[in-house]
Structure 1
Amino acid sequence: MTGIAKKMWLLAVALPLAGWSATASAGNFMPTGGRATQPVGHYEFCQREPQQCRQVTARHAPVELSRKLWAAMVEVNDQVNAQVSPRTDMEMWGREEFWSYPDGFGDCEDYVLEKRRELMKLGIPAGDLLITVVRQPNGDGHAVLTVRTGQGDYVLDNLEPRVLAWSDTEYTYLKRQSDRNSGAWVTINDGRAIAVGSVASR
């Protein structure tokens, strides 16, 4: 077993065994509400990459959280975080908001787009890979990727090496892509959220 393969195996089995058979509780899932405004950066991204924003799905059960999926989530999170160096949109594009696939450099939304693309290549439905806008404890805006599974919502983050359940993070959750329409957004009723105008990229 190679070093990378061994690492992936250890990370995969680190998921609590009880979680595989236990019935998921409502608290494991983000409580979503009605329609939310689409971030301007995502709107412009959709104009350039329309095929990434036209995934419309019927209501369906979340993807099963298997050991294989968990290992894939951990591996993609690790790889993208290692391959992309943080750089703001202002540094790269001379503007505040420009969502794009990273080419060695990127900000939080770019990490998210790449992780979403890589997991979709592995066959995970677009409706279970949701770009999510949050607020950090210091008040800054941020974006993460939510993976919607039968055991709950898990977060892939460029600021955190671990894949965590959404409720185990310190973020305040504001809004995310709809699981039924990748071009639409819905609110998250976190209870701590205060509306923000845009994501402050990190």
Structure 2
Amino acid sequence: MSKFKGFIAAAVAIGMAAFILAMPARADQVDFTNPAFAPAGGITSIPVGASEFCKSHRSECKANPHAVGATVLTEARWAELVQVNNVVNSAITAITDEDYYKVAEYWAYPDDGYGDCEDFALAKRKALIAAGWNPSTLLVTVVREAKGTGHAVLMVRTDRGDLVLDNQDGRILVWNETPYTYLKRQSQADAGQWVDLVDPRTTFVASK
């Protein structure tokens, strides 16, 4: 069994063992105009790598019939986020698509223990879904680093705001506490569609 597949099995056990189960928040219970939530725009183009990934993982790129606005962030759910983020970041060796797959962009689950930034995000998303999180609150997101290069993270919509799980920073931060410019993310209604993100900030945190 690969390190990644073994971790998914562990994530299922984590979700089943959680004594406090978080119920999803209703949209009318969360103030999505709060700056802790990244403002979303309309439907936009899907990244090339995501489009190709969806062709081979169609069941994971479809409408979410039970979409929720956000997940209530209990202590148990926070512990799951921290553990998933730490374990995936430790278990996977970062390598670019050009170096590993010999192509500019390729999204895949890092079953063999190697992956690019979007592969880290996909692994975390899959592990959290296995632990019982609603897929509509786990959104792969494309950002731009301060130096201008593209990057991908996992945005988690909670009642405390949009939290970012990042392979370049072990901390879990609210989206507007990170040094990135946010461009687009998966739609909550349909994992196979993407929406623009409207980043209103004019001053960004200094790059690492």
- Please give the range of the TM-score, normalised by the shorter of the 2 chains: 0.7 to 0.9
Instruction: Determine the structure 2 residue equivalent to 1:78.
Output: 86
Instruction: Determine the structure 1 residue equivalent to 2:45.
Output: 37
Counterparts of 1:118 and 1:56, CA distance in 2 = 17
Counterparts of 1:58 and 1:66, CA distance in 2 = 20
> Aligned pair 1:147/2:156, yes or no?
yes
Shift of 1:57: 3.1
Counterparts of 1:139 and 1:87, CA distance in 2 = 19
Counterparts of 2:79 and 2:154, CA distance in 1 = 16
Segment drifting more, 130-139 vs 51-60 = 51-60
Instruction: Determine the structure 2 residue equivalent to 1:113.
Output: 122
Shift of 1:59: 5.3
Counterparts of 1:24 and 1:173, CA distance in 2 = 17
> Aligned pair 1:128/2:137, yes or no?
yes
Unmatched 5+ stretches in structure 2: 1-29, 203-208
Counterparts of 2:199 and 2:31, CA distance in 1 = 22
Structure-2 change in CA distance of 1:43 and 1:152 (3 Å): same
Deviations 1:112-145 (A, max 9, x none): 0000000000110110000000011111110000
Shift of 1:92: 1.3
Computed over aligned residues only, the root mean square deviation of the Cα atoms, in angstroms, reads 1.8
CA contact (8 A) 2:95 2:116 kept: yes
CA contact (8 A) 2:67 2:135 kept: no
Output the TM-score relative to the length of structure 2. Answer: 0.79
Identity of aligned residues (%): 44
Unmatched 5+ stretches in structure 1: 1-21, 194-202
SS at the partner of 2:140? Answer: strand
Structure-2 change in CA distance of 1:25 and 1:67 (3 Å): farther
CA contact (8 A) 1:173 1:190 kept: yes
Structure-2 change in CA distance of 1:25 and 1:54 (3 Å): closer
Deviations 1:36-81 (A, max 9, x none): 1000100000001111111423553311011111111111010000
Amino acid at match of 2:183: L
Instruction: Determine the structure 1 residue equivalent to 2:182.
Output: 173
CA contact (8 A) 1:57 1:179 kept: no
> Aligned pair 1:62/2:70, yes or no?
yes
CA contact (8 A) 1:37 1:185 kept: yes
CA contact (8 A) 1:87 1:107 kept: yes
Output the TM-score relative to the length of structure 1. Answer: 0.81
SS at the partner of 1:176? Answer: strand
The one of 30, 53, 56 equivalent to 2:61 is 53
